[in-house]
Structure formats: structure tokens, C-alpha cells
Structure 1
Amino acid sequence: MQYKHLTEFLTSNAMALQQGPIAMIFVEDEIEIASTLRHHKEIGFAKVLAFIPDVFDLPPDLKDVVHRIDFDASLESDVQAAVNQVAAAAPGVWMFFCFNAEYLFFPFCEARSVNEMLSFHEEERREAMLTYVIDLYADDLSTCPNAVSLRHAHLDRSGYYALARNHCANVAQPKERQLDFFGGLRWRFEEHVPTSRRKINRISLFRAKPGVTLREDHSFSEEEYNTYACPWHHNITAAVCSFRAAKALKRNPGSRHDIKTFRWHNSEKFEWNSQQLLDLGLIEPGQWF
């Protein structure tokens, strides 16, 4: 199931988008492509779309279960356009997007599927879910120069904070139930990160709706999609555990030689389970028990 471009996929296999939830994985480099695709297939996504450069290959076990679309994800504007194009083709369907070497975790994901979680979330009259991008990094950069290691992945157990999100027209008036979240590598190495890239909140899970589009900052044109909870109580939140920032900091010439290690006194080994994220307060179950 390989397509030369997104238009070919949408015109020749539109039925593939009728059943959700759908995961869109945008591949930027050759790192951990297979593990990313397998993870999202295993947690219950009905369809996995791999937007991947044609120079990269997929293992045989994935070729029959993943819809491969030739795509260059080097420009975020192209990623944004692709997400909006898929969403426009499947109104009412739950969708998720991330990049390679990023892994979605939600409360109780070891025993419950993403479809179960989204069904409950929808019953609470929610059409989008806040996800925190939690930076992962290898503990030893001398043995893992690209900062990626599944076996020796670490994360920050503290150092996260939130600021009010203000209206552009009225900076004194914060937006209701919206916050900007910070922390992880983007906070600790902020001198190497553009201001617009320092936030760790992303609306990764959303229900496609006519006229509602993804914006450049990974928020949506409908403000209710960008809220962290409904007006009545807390809702489920999830995490995208991501090596993306670590890869970029070790790849970029401006930061590559300045960073000898990502470890600090608040580093903790990532256990690859949702309970650890719940214990650290990085995700919450809301009313879902």
C-alpha cells in the first residue's frame, strides 16, 4: 500500500479514512521509523498513514498494515497542510499526528485502546485532546551521538510549568481554559531554541470537523479545540514522548558542540509505561477510571 503522493491516496483509497481513529506519522529522518509505526498500530489505531521520503524502506511486516505515502516532511508548513487535507477528507473521524521517534501514551494504554479512550472523551462532549510533548533523550551521548536510545531513554521528572495564554487583541485578558506549557529540553537549553518552538503543548488528537484547521503552532482554528478541559471538570490528557528535540539539538551546528550530555539531577529513566507518566503528573485520567 504505497502512494506517490497524498492526492493519489485520497482519490484512490478514500474508504481507508472512513474508520478511525487514524494516526498520521510524518517521517523526518531514518531514526526509529519502524518502532514509531508499530507502537501506534499496537495501541489501537485503525489506520496508520506513514508520510515518508521514498529513500527510506519499511520492514516487510509493516508494508501490509501501513498506508505509505511518499512525502517530504522537512517543512512544517507542508506537514500542516497534509494534516488539514486528510482532516477535510474525513469529517467526524478522530485523528492523531506526530513525527518519527515520537510515541503516544495515555492513561492505562497498556490495557485499553486509543479507541476506548477517545470514545469516552467524545461522550464528555470533547472534540480534541491536549497532549504534552515530553522530551526523551539517551543518557550517554558518547554511545548514542544522535541522542536516541529506546533502551536507555530518559526524561525530566520535574521542571515543567504553565503560563496564561492571552488574546492577541487584549494581552491583559487570558483565554479561557488555555495555557502554554513549558519544560524539558526546550526549557533547559532554551538559548538554542527559537521562542516560537519552546512550548510543549500540542493538540495531537482531534476529531476532524469541516472548517476547523490545524495552525502553524499545532493549535486549531476553533478555540475550544485548544482548551485543556471542559468547563465542568478535568478531562483526560495524554503525552507524546518524543526524541525530536534531542535529535535537533544534537544535529544543529549551533548547539551540537555545546551539549555534552542531556542528563541532570532531575533525569529519570523512562519506563515506557503510562503509570510513570501518571505518577509524575505529566498526564491525567480526568473522570476515566
Structure 2
Amino acid sequence: MKYGSLKEFLDTDTTTLAKGPVALIFAEDRIELETTLRHHLELGFKAVLVFMPDAYTLPEDIAGRVIRIREDRPTGQVMIDTVNTIIEAAPGIWLYYCFNAEYLFFPFCESRNVSEMATFHMEERRYAMLTYVIDLYANDLESYPDAVSLDHAMLDKSGYYALARPDTANHNHPKERQLDFFGGLRWRYEEHIPAERRKIDRISLFMSKPDLQLRPDFTFSDEEYNTYSCEWHNNLTAAVCSFRTAKALKTNPGSTFDIRSFTWHNSVPFEWHSRQLLDLGLMEPGQWF
């Protein structure tokens, strides 16, 4: 299906947002848009909505399986506003959001689907899931000048850390069960990244509800949604494996000439499997086995 605007979709379609999980994919450009959509379709989302300009085309086999909504500016505040509009229109369902060239991985995703994971998470009285945005990058920038290659993708095996998240409303004391996470390219090339964009944590998967608002830093107005676990034990976390930062660093004139290669001594090939991310400690299975 194809809609000319989000308003047209919400006014016309009365069934898609009745049951989740639903994926919201925002196309910043054409790079790996098809593989992003295929990946999330295979994860078992009940519906995949893609926000993209009319000029972008999709193969017939994908076009028939996704809901396409025209959005000429699918980044920044427009993306935040879109997610919040859908939260208001469809309370009580699981939603997920990401950009093109980003791929969701969760524990055991090769044999279990996203609906099963969300159901288990909700049974633990958890209504949002912390995801780490793990930077991917091509191993050879001469061969892949936009830093994107699925067949030759690399990631950092170490160099990740967390800091207490200060509560400005409480004399900057640390917030309970909340941390700011750093690492990857945003850490190694921090001189090219604005301070407010250096974190790699994102609440990507969540249950919508009335009055809930996504904020520009990818946290929510409900502080419990921003916690990494409940009070009594560790919970599931997931990873969004993303070429977005590498792509931006190599297309931005202010940084592209300073970077000849993203690889370093802690780079390893990405295996496109949840086991590697679990072994590296980049996501947590919690009590789900």
C-alpha cells in the first residue's frame, strides 16, 4: 500500500496499527534501503511502515509487503514528530523505529521472532527495551567510499563504556537504572560528533500508551521506559547494527578527508548473527533462554 502522507494513512487505514509489533523505517537516503526492509520483514513484525520520498523505488516483492508513506524529510525532528503521532494514534501496541542501513538484532533472533520477544518482555512487566546502536563500517574505504558494505562489514569488539545519567531535576544525582552508553565510531571520532549525539543507547522498541512522548535524544517522557532493567533482575536488551554514523562521517565534508580508514586493532568482521553480539556483551538475554 502507498499513502501520500501520514495523515492520509491514519485517516484511511484502520487495521495496520491494531496489533504490533510494528516497525517504522525512516529512509534518509537510498543506501541499503531494500536490505533494511527485508531484514525487518524477516524478523516477524506484523507490519513494516517505510517513510520515504516518492522518488525512491522499491522492488515489487518488497513493495507488496510494506506500507509506504510519503515523507520528503524523514530525519531529525520530523522523525520524532512522526513517531509521536503514531504513538498517539495507536496506544497499546509495540513499536520499533530505525533508519535505513540499520538492522535490529536481538538474542536468538535467528530462531525466534520479534513478537515472541516482545511478549516475553511484557510478561516481565517491561514495556520498553534498551538497544545499543552498534556502528558498522566497510573494511576498505577506497572500495566503498560511502563506508557501507554488507559483505565486508566490520564492528568494534571493544571500547564501549557507560556513565551515570545525571538527573538535572535532582541536583544531578544519578538516575536510577539509567546510564549513558558510549563507544564505536561516535567515541573514536568524537571531535566530529556533537556532544549531544555521542551516546549509542536508544529506546528503539517500546509499548505505545497515551501521553507518551519520544524525545530528540531517543529517550521517553516516562522515565521507567529509559531504564536498562527492572529492579529485581537483568532484562533483555537488543542491538541496532548501523552504518549510519560511518556513512555520515564519510559524506560530511568536515570529516571525510580526515578519515582514510575506520579499521583499527579492535575491529572484527561482523558475522550478521546474534551470537557474536551476545559473546561481545553488546546485548543481554536476561532471563530469556
TM bracket, shorter-chain basis: over 0.9
Structure 1: runs of 5 or more not aligned = none
Show the counterpart of 1:222: 222
Deviations 1:110-137 (A, max 9, x none): 0000000000000000000000000000
Show the counterpart of 1:237: 237
Superposition deviation, residue 232 in structure 1: 0.5
Report the 3-state secondary structure (helix = DSSP H, G, I; strand = E; otherwise coil) of the residue aligned with 1:9: helix
Superposition deviation, residue 74 in structure 1: 4.9
Give the residue type in structure 1 aligned to 2:56. F
Query: Does structure 2 conserve the Cα–Cα contact (< 8 Å) formed by 1:26 and 1:73?
Result: no
Query: Does structure 1 conserve the Cα–Cα contact (< 8 Å) formed by 2:51 and 2:74?
Result: no
2:259 and 2:131 map into 1 onto residues whose CA distance is 27
Show the counterpart of 1:53: 53
Superposition deviation, residue 274 in structure 1: 0.1
1:98 and 1:88 map into 2 onto residues whose CA distance is 19
Query: Does structure 1 conserve the Cα–Cα contact (< 8 Å) formed by 2:185 and 2:245?
Result: yes
Quick check: 1:209 aligned with 2:205? Answer: no
Report the 3-state secondary structure (helix = DSSP H, G, I; strand = E; otherwise coil) of the residue aligned with 1:254: coil
Give the residue type in structure 1 aligned to 2:95. M
Report the 3-state secondary structure (helix = DSSP H, G, I; strand = E; otherwise coil) of the residue aligned with 1:240: strand
Query: Does structure 2 conserve the Cα–Cα contact (< 8 Å) formed by 1:23 and 1:48?
Result: yes
Q: 1:176 to 1:157 in 2, by over 3 A?
A: same
Q: How does 1:22-33 map to 2 (within 5 A)?
A: 22-33=22-33
Structure 2: runs of 5 or more not aligned = none
Show the counterpart of 1:249: 249
Report the 3-state secondary structure (helix = DSSP H, G, I; strand = E; otherwise coil) of the residue aligned with 1:7: helix
Deviations 1:159-184 (A, max 9, x none): 00000001113344110000000000
Show the counterpart of 2:76: 76
Superposition deviation, residue 188 in structure 1: 0.1
Q: How does 1:1-289 map to 2 (within 5 A)?
A: 1-289=1-289
Over 2 Å off, 4+ runs: 72-75, 169-172
Query: Does structure 1 conserve the Cα–Cα contact (< 8 Å) formed by 2:26 and 2:75?
Result: no
Report the identity percentage. 64
State TM-score, norm by structure 1. Answer: 0.99
How many residue pairs align between the two structures?
Answer: 289
Query: Does structure 2 conserve the Cα–Cα contact (< 8 Å) formed by 1:133 and 1:240?
Result: yes
1:26 and 1:14 map into 2 onto residues whose CA distance is 21
Report the 3-state secondary structure (helix = DSSP H, G, I; strand = E; otherwise coil) of the residue aligned with 2:272: coil
Superposition deviation, residue 217 in structure 1: 0.4
Deviations 1:236-275 (A, max 9, x none): 0000000000000001010010000000000000000000
1:14 and 1:142 map into 2 onto residues whose CA distance is 48
1:75 and 1:62 map into 2 onto residues whose CA distance is 22
Report the 3-state secondary structure (helix = DSSP H, G, I; strand = E; otherwise coil) of the residue aligned with 2:11: helix
Superposition deviation, residue 63 in structure 1: 1.1
Moved more, 10-19 or 128-137: 10-19
Give the residue type in structure 2 aligned to 1:275. R
Deviations 1:8-52 (A, max 9, x none): 001100211102100000000010010000100101101000001
State TM-score, norm by structure 2. Answer: 0.99
Give the residue type in structure 1 aligned to 2:185. L
Query: Does structure 2 conserve the Cα–Cα contact (< 8 Å) formed by 1:28 and 1:72?
Result: no
Give the residue type in structure 1 aligned to 2:109. C
2:206 and 2:192 map into 1 onto residues whose CA distance is 30
Report the 3-state secondary structure (helix = DSSP H, G, I; strand = E; otherwise coil) of the residue aligned with 2:255: helix
2:164 and 2:14 map into 1 onto residues whose CA distance is 40
Report the 3-state secondary structure (helix = DSSP H, G, I; strand = E; otherwise coil) of the residue aligned with 1:28: coil
Q: 1:75 to 1:35 in 2, by over 3 A?
A: closer
